[in-house]
A and B are shown apart, each in its own frame.
Chain A
């Protein structure tokens, strides 16, 4: 009898498996429910590894940059023609710009508005990792809390809105792209339609059709294909006036009461190398 292992009854094995599954479900529901902050050990490991990775991947990034530069060079002649026509208009635009800035300041004083897009500092950062885990739809940039980046700061590039910061470590930050259907974070938008402005809510991203859906606009309002969609500034996270994309299709909901607007983002999310994080100029005074 000695040395002979007693076999565990099947029912205990089943109970054991059920208990383990329940524990896993409880843990997952806790850690995935909201964007949790990394603990100091996790943050330290991430900083260390991604710093090493930045240097390891440098030659590959360099090669990619050179390839991109070469393809840009091929379009130089065409770009040059466009730029020459634009140069002729620069003087008049500059004069208009000065006047608009003066008017904006006057209106801000009058309406008691605290912040506009011009009150933000642009903190430039390089993308070091792109959505490796795939399901998180994130980019990792090489600036973190050390550079003053905080959770929920807005990230843009030259083409428009990219996303918002969801997680930071000392030297890196994760950005969640706006092409994520996050039910907890809907973006308030306004559609610029000539003289009038319409307000709506960016509801979700359609993965099959590759477009953003804007809802909450009355069917009586007029929206045209080609109208530009900007952030409205309502909601507190995204400042107003950041370009999101262009209207490509307009449909109505099942009750024929409101419009559903399909918007194609202005940013190519697979080709983002550099981004700017918007940091309030007087952030330190605010907090």
Chain B
């Protein structure tokens, strides 16, 4: 549990560190962008047998993400909770290996961008173009694969298949 929390905090810090190197705005999406905290949630899931603890972490880090980088804790909480449920569903469907973990990570990132795009387009005063969504989804592929693969192997070594009760 402690390792998972530390890993999620590092992922949360990485958002800012990497944004300094691969800056990405709506007008100019970088090819090396992703949401590290969401990948963190994907990576730690197989190491939890207690789903209550996992969803508590999802809610906490979703709220924190919303406060720090979004527009408040409620929006972050809702989006991350939906993503958490999707991660659970996908891990029940797919076998756990590095390829599938990468796929689940990308689907989760896809879901984050899709939900943000839909909710913000419908409810906020900002208008977005569909091409922006496509650009950011394409720009998320490389870094999602890189970070997921590195994290997957690190966790494999650290936990050695240990499961958090």
A residues whose Cβ falls under 8 Å from a Cβ of B: 24, 27-29, 31-36, 38, 42, 45-46, 49-50, 53, 56-57, 60-61, 64, 128-137, 167, 177, 179-185, 204-208, 210, 269-271
Contact = CB atoms under 8 A, between A and B. Distances in A.
A269 B71 contact: no
Given A181-B127, A181-B128, A28 B78 contact: yes
Interface in B33-77: 33, 35, 64-65, 67-75
Contacts of B19: 129-132
A134 B136 contact: yes
Given A134-B33, A207-B26, A31 B75 contact: yes
Nearest to A33: B123
B17 A57 contact: yes
A183 B124 CA distance: 9
B2 interface: no
Given A57-B16, A128-B16, A182 B25 contact: no
Q: Give the one of A32, A35, A179, A269 with max B CB within 10 A.
A: A32
B69 A129 contact: yes
Contacts of B25: 130-131, 137, 177, 179, 269-270
Contacts of A182: 125-126
Contact of A137 (B13, B26, B72, B117): B26
Contacts of B135: 207
A137 B68 CA distance: 14
18 contacts: A27-B78, A29-B123, A36-B71, A49-B12, A50-B68, A56-B17, A57-B16, A64-B21, A133-B65, A133-B69, A133-B70, A134-B35, A177-B26, A181-B126, A183-B126, A207-B27, A207-B128, A208-B129
A282 B148 CA distance: 52
Contacts of B17: 56-57, 60
A49 B27 CA distance: 28
Given A130-B20, A132-B15, A134-B26, 19 more contacts: A28-B75, A28-B123, A29-B123, A32-B120, A32-B123, A46-B68, A57-B17, A57-B20, A131-B23, A132-B16, A133-B69, A134-B35, A137-B26, A177-B27, A179-B25, A179-B27, A180-B26, A207-B131, A269-B28
Contacts of B65: 133
Which 10 residue pairs of A and B lie closest in terms of their CB atoms, listed nearest first? A132-B69, A32-B123, A184-B125, A270-B23, A133-B69, A130-B19, A179-B27, A32-B124, A135-B116, A132-B15
A134 B116 contact: yes
B33 to A, nearest CB: 7
Nearest to B117: A135
Given A56-B13, A134-B33, A179-B27, A42 B72 contact: yes
B33 A49 contact: no
Nearest to B123: A32
B153 interface: no
Interface of B: 12-13, 15-17, 19-21, 23-28, 30, 33, 35, 64-65, 67-75, 78, 113, 116-117, 119-120, 123-129, 131-132, 135-136
Given A28-B78, A32-B75, A32-B123, A130 B23 contact: yes
A141 B32 CA distance: 23
B129 to A, nearest CB: 5
A270 B129 contact: no
Contacts of A134: 24, 26, 33, 35, 113, 116, 136
A134 B30 CA distance: 11
A53 B70 contact: no
Given A28-B75, A60-B21, A136 B128 contact: no
Contacts of B129: 206-208
A44 to B, nearest CB: 10
A78 to B, nearest CB: 25
B64 A136 contact: no
Nearest to A204: B127
A27 B17 CA distance: 32
A230 B70 CA distance: 30
Contacts of B21: 60, 64
Contacts of B136: 134
